[in-house]
Amino acid sequence: MCAREIQDQKTIAREMFVQQSAHANVGVSASPLWGATIRSTKSRRDFALESTADEFCEAADASLLPVIRGDVANLMRVLQQLEVIVKRQAPRIAFKAKGSILLLDLPDILAVQAEGNYVSLQHRPNPYLVHESLSSMAEKLKPYGFIRIHRSVVVNISAVEEIQPLPTGEYRLRVKGGKEYLVTRTYKHNLRDLAQLWVGSERLPG
């Protein structure tokens, strides 16, 4: 490894430690790599790295390992925290059922089907009947990623796994769990909302 490569690794490692220290808002006084000293000069967010000795290439390579391990561990903790936050902030729907008010996470509802004067929330493992019109439900659920595909069906776009064109000009959707729904020609233009990016030569539905 040449001197330029060693210097580049020093720069990368220094920036990683500075970012981690600034994020944690704590001062670092140890010298974890290359015999260097990190000391606070202005505040806990301003650090200066002073090299105190030269070293062999092998030592420089090995000294990067704790930096990489620490960075990965910090990243994993951040991802776990974000997952918890997302679950807490997931939109929910509240409705009356059997004399009480139930609350369900909207991502767990695969579809909504008309059932006379009611709608059936297709929730695994148990569907729920709610006294509401499908048109009203479609409007309420639209901002949360639900689209209408049939006069009696609204689906959760995040639950759709496959689209199959039919010779009639209609489409068939398969959602998580294997259940299939028909997309009529009246609503097939809504299929464009299923994905943010369409690639290849296939034309968008509708």
105 and 155 together in one domain: yes
Q: Output the CA angle 153-154-160, nearest 5 degrees.
A: 110
Q: How many domains does the chain have?
A: 2
Instruction: Return d(Cα 75, Cα 90) in angstroms, integer.
Output: 22
Give pLDDT, residue 10.
Answer: 58
**Is there a domain that residue 206 lies in?**
no
Give pLDDT, residue 62.
Answer: 55
Give pLDDT, residue 47.
Answer: 44
106 and 178 together in one domain: yes
179 and 106 together in one domain: yes
162 and 190 together in one domain: yes
Give pLDDT, residue 81.
Answer: 73
**Is there a domain that residue 176 lies in?**
yes
177 and 101 together in one domain: yes
Instruction: Return d(Cα 202, Cα 180) in angstroms, integer.
Output: 22
pTM: 0.56
Domain end: 44, 73, 89, which one? 89
Give pLDDT, residue 98.
Answer: 79
135 and 181 together in one domain: yes
**Is there a domain that residue 204 lies in?**
no
Residue pLDDT tens, the chain, 206 long: 545 555 555 566 566 555 555 554 444 344 444 444 444 444 444 444 444 444 444 554 555 556 566 677 788 888 877 766 655 567 888 888 878 898 889 889 999 999 988 999 998 788 899 999 999 999 999 999 999 999 999 999 999 999 999 999 999 999 998 999 999 999 999 998 888 877 775 666 65
User: Which structural domain range is residue 9 located in?
Assistant: 3-89
Domain end: 54, 89, 124, which one? 89
40 and 68 together in one domain: yes
70 and 81 together in one domain: yes
**Is there a domain that residue 199 lies in?**
no
Q: Which residues does 134 contact at the CB level (< 8 Å), separation at least 6?
A: 112, 113, 114, 119, 151, 152, 153, 154
100 and 181 together in one domain: yes
Give pLDDT, residue 50.
Answer: 44
Domain end: 89, 112, 131, which one? 89
CATH of the domain at 150: 2.40.50.1020
- Decide: 199 and 191 in contact? Cβ < 8 Å: no
